[in-house]
């Protein structure tokens, strides 16, 4: 019996020592979270390796992700893959055919994504900008000249085709047309200059309110034939944005800094739980591997002695 215990004691002791030392080593990766002191003397190996090197680890992980996992080449390949483009086309199809059965008004639909104040602000700013363009065009003196010329030509043409035309009355009208046209153009320009702001603003706001009150399905009905063209246009714009602007987007986002800051902001308990949730099985395997190696070393030492 003594001989049997003698044979198993070495391997068993080695296994226990290997298990415990590996378990302690893994725990020391995370704990303690802060430095410890005894009578003012810093206790070695505190804080744990990960808490102590948290800043450097965060910087290294951020750099590795930015340079190797989420760089321009990798993201461009993913974002411009056939699978991604097919998903975009499918999303457009789904949106289009969903809206064909959507009885919500445009304003109600927009309310899912914007507040009432934001909708009102967009409506007002858009209408004002469109009204400014229309007012500028209406106040162009060429408008009055064009309208007056069209009006006089219409009168002359009507006269030529009427009874008056048969008695050559259009000759008289043509003779006085030029001064009348000039006077009419001046009058039209004056009216447009004074009335353009109110006219344009009223028209634009009225049409905007009609659009907001229109059912979503009405916007899409009858445009099935344009769907394919719309998809191609959207995909083309998407390709251009990714191809031409991805480097600038990545530079603006600064993935490395985001990852680094997020890791640094993490509480060590949270970071420990995340790492353990991902590598718990592997870390446990390391502990048992320590037990196995300790057992082997104990067996070897027993035969050496």
The pLDDT tens digits of the residues spanning 259-268 come to: 888 888 888 8
* pLDDT tens-place string over residues 130-187: 998 888 887 777 777 777 777 777 766 766 665 444 445 555 555 656 676 677 777 7
The conformation of residue 123, written as its DSSP 8-state character, comes to: H
Residue 3: pLDDT band with limits 50, 70, 90: low
The DSSP symbol for 43 reads P
**3-class secondary structure per residue, 161-180:** CCHHHHCCHHHHHHHHHHHH
Half-sphere exposure of 38 (CA within 13 A, CB side): 3
**CA 221/CA 100 separation, integer angstroms:** 6
Q: What is the pLDDT of residue 161?
A: 61
- Tell me the pLDDT tens digit for each residue of 233-261: 999 999 999 888 888 888 888 888 888 88
CB 150 within 8 A of CB 215: no
Mean pLDDT to the nearest integer, 55-78: 86
Where are the chain's structural domains?
1-103+227-305, 105-214
H or E element, residue 197: helix 169-213
The alpha carbon dihedral of 156, 161, 163, 169 has a sign of positive
Q: Can you give the pTM of this predicted structure?
A: 0.58
pLDDT of residue 164: 47
Strongest mean pLDDT among 12-26, 56-70, 106-120, 158-172: 106-120
128: confidence class by pLDDT, cuts 50, 70, 90 = very high
If you count DSSP H runs as helices and E runs as strands, how many of each does the chain have, helices first? 14, 2
What mean pLDDT, rounded, does the chain reach?
83
Average confidence (pLDDT) over 212-219:
92
| Structural element, H or E, at residue 38 | strand 37-38
> Residue 165: its pLDDT value, please?
46
Paired tokens of 40: 């003012």
């Amino acid at each position: 019996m003594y001989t049997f215990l003698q044979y198993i004691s070495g391997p068993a002791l080695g296994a226990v020592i290997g298990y415990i030392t590996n378990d302690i080593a893994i725990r020391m990766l995370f704990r303690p979270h802060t430095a410890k002191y005894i009578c003012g003397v810093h206790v070695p190996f505190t804080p744990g390796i990960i808490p102590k090197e948290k800043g450097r680890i965060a910087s290294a992980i951020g750099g590795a992700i930015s340079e190797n996992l989420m760089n321009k080449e990798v993201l461009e390949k993913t974002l411009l893959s056939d699978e991604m483009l097919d998903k975009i086309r499918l999303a457009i199809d789904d949106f289009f055919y969903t809206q064909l059965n959507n009885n919500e008004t445009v304003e109600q639909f927009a309310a899912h994504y914007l507040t009432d104040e934001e909708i009102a602000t967009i409506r007002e700013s858009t209408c004002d900008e469109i009204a400014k363009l229309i007012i500028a065009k209406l106040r162009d003196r060429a408008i009055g000249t064009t309208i007056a010329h069209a009006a006089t030509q219409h009168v002359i043409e009507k006269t030529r085709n009427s009874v008056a035309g048969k008695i050559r009355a259009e000759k008289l009208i043509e003779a006085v047309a030029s001064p009348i046209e000039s006077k009419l153009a001046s009058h039209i320009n004056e009216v447009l200059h004074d009335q353009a702001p109110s006219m344009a603003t009223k028209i634009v706001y009225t049409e905007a309110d009609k659009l907001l009150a229109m059912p979503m399905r009405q916007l899409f009905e009858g445009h099935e034939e344009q769907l394919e063209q719309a998809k191609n246009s959207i995909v083309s714009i998407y390709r251009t944005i990714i191809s031409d602007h991805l480097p600038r987007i990545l530079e603006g986002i600064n993935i490395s800094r985001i990852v680094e800051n997020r890791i640094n902001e993490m509480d060590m308990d949270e970071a420990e739980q995340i790492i353990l949730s991902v590598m718990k099985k592997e870390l446990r395997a390391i502990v048992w591997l320590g037990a196995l190696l300790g057992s082997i070393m104990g067996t070897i030492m027993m035969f050496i002695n």
